[in-house]
Amino acid sequence: MTHHHQFDAVIVGAGGAGLMAALQAARLTNVAVISKMYPTRSHTGTAQGGIAAPLGNMEEDHWEWYMYDTVKGGDYLVDQDAAEILARESVEAIYELEHMGLPFDRTEEGRIEQRRFGGHTRDYGKGPVMRSCKSADRTGHMILQTLYQNCIKHNVRFFDEFFVADVLVHDGVARGVVAVEIATGELHLFHAKAVLLASGGFGRMFAVTSNAHSLTGEPVAALYRRGLPLEDMEFFQFHPTGIYKMGILLSEAARGEGGVLLNGRGERFLENYVPTLMDLAPRDMLSRFIYQEVAAGRGVDGKDYVYLDIRPETINRYGSAPGGRTVTAAELEEKLPDIIEMMRVYMGVEPMREPVPIQPTAHYAMGGIPTDNDGRVLAGPAHTVSGLYAAGECACVSVHGANRLGTNSLVDLVVFGRRGGKALGEFCRRADYAPLPPQAEAEAQGALAELRASRGRERVGTLRSELQRVMMDKVGVFRKAAGMREALSTVRALKERYTQIGLDDRGGTFNTDLLEAFELGALLDLAEVTAASALQRTESRGAQYRDDFPERDDTHWLKHTLAYCSEGASVRPTRGEVRFEAKPVVVTRFEPKPRTY
Amino acid sequence: MAKVTLKIKRYDPEREPASWWSEHALEAEPSERVLDLLNRVKWEQDGTLSFRRSCGHGICGSDSMRIDGANRLACKTLVSELGSAITIEPLLGMRVQKDLIVDLEPFFAAYRTVKPYFISNAPPPPDGRERLQTPAQRLRFDDTTKCILCACCTASCPSFWASSEYIGPASIVQAHRFIFDSRDEGAGERLQVAGETMGVWRCHTAFNCTLACPRGINITQAIGEVKRALATGRVE
């Protein structure tokens, strides 16, 4: 049986963007939040280092400097009108979080304390600036908790542990979503005036990733399957400091506090690449430089990793702490408690006495569902879908361009979650319910029933690990045409094998076998779009580095990619090719220049 | 690589009314997480095995379970800490829904009773900027801000096992986080809830919660501070 619900606004996802949007929209209209997990499990909670805003609590800072850093960090593919909004509104967003009770770290004067972070500079690139507001190295945890607490305070309605199987968009109008209650396997049809997607990233398409198991992008794939475009999917950020082999993130805050990267010879190799910002250069560059060291035989013991060194004696020897001051082990333990514990637990390393093996880890999708500056989803370069919104990592505003700056994911989700939530609420006040098509849930129901009954010989786990391996090897930090073609044909072969899948669990209660199979279908589609988008962009920019096209090419490629499925609208994985269209980049204040640090 | 045997307590109401045990032999690296082993069982041997998991590194709080008799996060427990036979069960004192998945609705309902959100009637500063708080005031409640609501503490508490109406250590930790925040004005309302029959006085300082907490929160101490505030009428 199908359960029917009607809410003016339905929000999919309960991380930072979804909860921020829910708080805004709930002031204006009635809202339901659907989340695959309990909201406090969302991946926003794992963000460590901080959230930027030019408050100027520590030293002089200006929104124009921050906007510049965001644009340059994104290798000029950032839409500058959006970056200006991000930089300006970050300030009031931070204060709003503080007023909601968020426990930021404090200065002696009682103000919000700030620290340095990668790519954030004073005076248009002259040197690092203290701009990142934080709660030790658990800033995301505090943001997630604070937003969820406020949702409880304001009686926001949650549907926890429901996954979305289909987003109902017909004739350019959003009408609701079809979701599965994981505890029972029963179908729920949500009829809404408007839907906001805030489902986060999909980094689980890569073998080494900082992303949670749950980050598989079903709502993003659902829109693509329904014929809507995805923007700039070729730009996937690899964070330079993941724990070796495991991919668990060690925040840039470690380097903000003075930590340095060392190659196998114990050299501070970034002196040769980015002499001004060194360890605080943007992530795309550092990930490349690490692999260049490895390729030159200067990894540790000739292997594919280097060291992150946060020993006080190392930091003091290089004078790499903020202002060149001397640091002690006790201070580092206080500022970086969680990541130091992770180094101890997962690596068995004592970071106050030895350096920590690290390698780049797949971290963040710059691309995703194209939106305007109020979260309205675009159906093409110039027109929007009525009643459909997106915010946070699943969206592409684009405020991150070709490479996101550290802290800007959190800024994005509070600033654009807030704007999207307001726009959603206002839309619901003036709009009526568009009718649901007859048997709106039938297609999703059929696809899920088929999957649940499947008895083929292919296993979800096998297909997923083959996908993750080929994406890591061929569509990772370094890319070239032949490898990406190979990846694309592998992904398409995996999609074919996916039709021969077999499940063990045929039940209704917490059928996580079914859920993982459904998630794999989404990952396959999104990986295909990622690889195809990367292949068609014949240049290197930000997180996309191509050995066969090593230069940025503003003449031909200063534009966004929109990727569409060439045929059919379905709830199932796509079968058509990927078709492309271009969307112009908005340039207002900063003309593209070579990117040096 | 070493040989390990996972012994997992299973339950599926659609298959049979009673629980049973499944056993799985695996080769495991000492650096692997128990979560890695559970995933391998699910992906390679038995897709029906059900458990919650998400971040995989001890922050999201999804994969709390009983591992060799202690409540822990599967993603924060390494094979090297355990013997070659590992026993895994769902959390105690909570209704099992399937395999290692327990019903968390009552847990979150108890959490909501302590008003786990910032309460202040004073308007923010007129300049629109942050409320001021000294580092010492901020430090006063730092420990309890770390809570990830994994339920390891509550499900380890003998008082909670005896009466599931007890709001439990996790809820008191959340109350503490606000009661001792210098900016918050809701201490009175929260202390009233904490002082009721099913509140803090159910705690008999068994310390199980403190031992179970994967975030290293001194829960027993936090509960003691809430008791003291109730007894003295002062929050300090």
- What are the pLDDT digits (tens) for A399-438? 999 999 999 999 999 999 999 999 999 999 999 999 999 9
Structure confidence at residue A527 (pLDDT): 98
Contact across the interface for B184 and A101, Cβ inside 8 Å: yes
Residues 152-211 of B with CB under 8 A from A: 178, 181, 183-184
Residue A563's nearest CA partner among A548, A583, A543 is A583
Structure confidence at residue B85 (pLDDT): 97
| Residue pLDDT, tens place only, A304-321 | 999 999 999 999 999 999
8 A C-beta contact, residue A391 and residue A342: no
For A60-125, the DSSP string reads ---HHHHHHHHHHHTTT-S-HHHHHHHHHHHHHHHHHHHHTT----B-TTSSBPEEEEEEEEETTT
Contact across the interface for B62 and A149, Cβ inside 8 Å: no
Contact across the interface for B116 and A141, Cβ inside 8 Å: no
Contacts of A55 in chain B (CB under 8 A): 129
* ipTM (interface predicted TM): 0.98
- Report CA-CA distances (Å) from B174 to A192, B73, B113, B190: 34, 19, 10, 10
Residues 214-233 of B with CB under 8 A from A: none
Long-range Cβ contact pairs of A564-570 (< 8 A, separation 24 or more): A564/A224, A564/A227, A564/A228, A564/A229, A565/A224, A565/A225, A565/A227, A569/A225, A569/A226, A569/A227, A570/A225, A570/A226, A570/A443
Label residues A576-592 b or e (16+ Cβ within 10 Å = b). eebeeeebebeeeebeb
Tokens of A56: 């100027």
8 A C-beta contact, residue A420 and residue A21: yes
8 A C-beta contact, residue A191 and residue A5: yes
Tokens of A489: 């044909």
Contacts of B76 in chain A (CB under 8 A): 345
| Residue pLDDT, tens place only, A359-400 | 999 999 999 999 999 999 999 998 999 999 999 999 999 999
pLDDT above 90 covers a percentage of chain A that reads: 98
Label residues A87-109 b or e (16+ Cβ within 10 Å = b). bbbbbebbbbbbbbbbbbbbeee
- The alpha-carbon gap from A433 to the nearest alpha carbon of chain B, in Å, equals 32
Contact across the interface for B118 and A150, Cβ inside 8 Å: yes
Closest CB to A111: pick one of B50, B116, B130. Answer: B130
Distance of alpha carbon A69 from alpha carbon B220, whole angstroms: 46
Tokens of B100: 């290692």
Contact across the interface for A46 and B183, Cβ inside 8 Å: no
Closest CB to B133: pick one of A94, A110, A505. Answer: A110
Helix (H) or strand (E) holding B25: strand B16-28
Contacts of A395 (CB under 8 A, 6+ apart): A17, A197, A198, A368, A369, A370, A371, A375, A416, A420
Residue A568 above 80 pLDDT? no
pLDDT tier at A73 (50, 70, 90 boundaries)? very high
**Chain B residue with minimum CA distance to A93:** B129
Contacts of B39 in chain A (CB under 8 A): 461
For residue A159, report the phi and psi dihedrals to the nearest 5 degrees: -115, 90
Please report, as a single letter, which amino acid is at residue B227. Answer: K
Q: Please report where in the chains the tokens 């006085």 appear, as a residue.
A: B201
- Report CA-CA distances (Å) from A124 to A81, A508, B19, B40: 18, 57, 64, 49
Structure confidence at residue B220 (pLDDT): 97
Contact across the interface for A106 and B134, Cβ inside 8 Å: yes
Contacts of B78 in chain A (CB under 8 A): 345-346
Residue A459's nearest CA partner among A490, A492, A498, A493 is A498
Contacts of A39 (CB under 8 A, 6+ apart): A14, A15, A19, A33, A144, A148, A151, A158, A160
Distance of alpha carbon A403 from alpha carbon A284, whole angstroms: 7
Closest CB to A106: pick one of B43, B138, B181. Answer: B138
Contact across the interface for A138 and B98, Cβ inside 8 Å: no
Closest CB to B148: pick one of A40, A153, A214. Answer: A40
Contacts of A297 (CB under 8 A, 6+ apart): none
8 A C-beta contact, residue A163 and residue A177: no
Strands A478-479, A236-243: pairing is: unpaired
Structure confidence at residue A569 (pLDDT): 87
- Report CA-CA distances (Å) from A353 to A316, A318, A350, A568: 14, 16, 6, 58
Closest CB to B135: pick one of A108, A503, A508. Answer: A108
* 3-class secondary-structure state, position B213: coil
How many CB atoms sit inside 10 A of residue B113's CB?
17
Contacts of B133 in chain A (CB under 8 A): 106, 110
Contact across the interface for B138 and A141, Cβ inside 8 Å: no
Contacts of A492 (CB under 8 A, 6+ apart): A528
Please report, as a single letter, which amino acid is at residue B153. Answer: C
- For testing contact with chain B, the best of A48, A134, A138, A145 (most B CBs within 10 A): A145
- For testing contact with chain A, the best of B22, B54, B143, B171 (most A CBs within 10 A): B54
B92 at interface of A, judged by CB pairs closer than 8 A: no
How many CB atoms sit inside 10 A of residue B68's CB?
16
For A475-497, the DSSP string reads SSSEE-HHHHHHHHHHHHHHHHH
Q: For the residues A339-361, what does the mean pLDDT come to?
A: 96
Residue A129 above 80 pLDDT? yes
* 3-class secondary-structure state, position B49: coil
Q: For the residues A186-208, what does the mean pLDDT come to?
A: 98
Residues of A acting as catalytic residues: 283
B73 burial (CB, 10 Å; 0-12 / 13-18 / 19+) is buried
Q: For the residues B69-85, what does the mean pLDDT come to?
A: 97
Closest CB to A510: pick one of B97, B108, B133. Answer: B97
- The alpha-carbon gap from A90 to the nearest alpha carbon of chain B, in Å, equals 12
Contact across the interface for A212 and B60, Cβ inside 8 Å: yes
Residue A61 above 90 pLDDT? yes
8 A C-beta contact, residue A169 and residue A12: no
**Chain A residue with minimum CA distance to B178:** A101
Distance of alpha carbon A493 from alpha carbon A498, whole angstroms: 9
pLDDT tier at A93 (50, 70, 90 boundaries)? very high
Residue A567 above 90 pLDDT? no
Structure confidence at residue A146 (pLDDT): 98
For residue A170, report the phi and psi dihedrals to the nearest 5 degrees: -130, 135
How many residue contacts between A and B have a Cβ separation below 8 Å?
159
Tokens of B136: 């010492």
The per-residue pLDDT of chain A, averaged, comes to: 97
